[in-house]
Amino acid sequence: MNHRRLLPHEAQWREQALAEYERNGGRAVVLPVETPNEDCSFSQMTDPNWFYAVGSARSNVTGVVTVVPGAGGQPKVGLDYQVNVWDRFDIPDGEPGRQHKVGLAQEFNMAGSGSVKHYELGNGAALPARDGGGEIDR
């Protein structure tokens, strides 16, 4: 999954969490976050197995932003997140459709989530490295 999907939301999530932290009197806060569901495709060049097996799917990112008191009174903002991918594979007409009718092929649902990653939100740190799975392009 391409971690660039976090970047458009990073400033907004950080701002919301810090505002809640201030309203909470400087005590720790946790804010659930989620990106919109989007269509995505696997890259034929970097992940041919995923490209031919799955092609494209829907995905989003879910997680929590935490703000805790940090050193020198400065709040420390972090994001724990994971990437989710799902799709429904339908059997098209033609030969695969015939195989479906005689029981040799079937439709199926695909769903999965990456491992949870931690990211210090808004301090300029690099995003965590992706899991060993396929890279998804938007």
Q: Whole-structure pTM over 0.75, yes or no? A: no
Cα(34)–Cα(5) distance, rounded to whole angstroms?
11
Tell me the pLDDT tens digit for each residue of 81-114: 998 989 877 656 566 667 767 777 677 788 988 8
**Rg for the chain (alpha carbons), in Å?**
20
Tell me the pLDDT tens digit for each residue of 22-62: 999 999 999 999 999 999 888 889 888 878 777 888 999 99
Q: Is 79 left (phi over 0), alpha (psi -120 to 50) or beta?
A: beta
3-class secondary structure, 56? strand
3-class secondary structure, 96? helix
Side-chain half-sphere exposure of 32, counting CA atoms within 13 A: 1
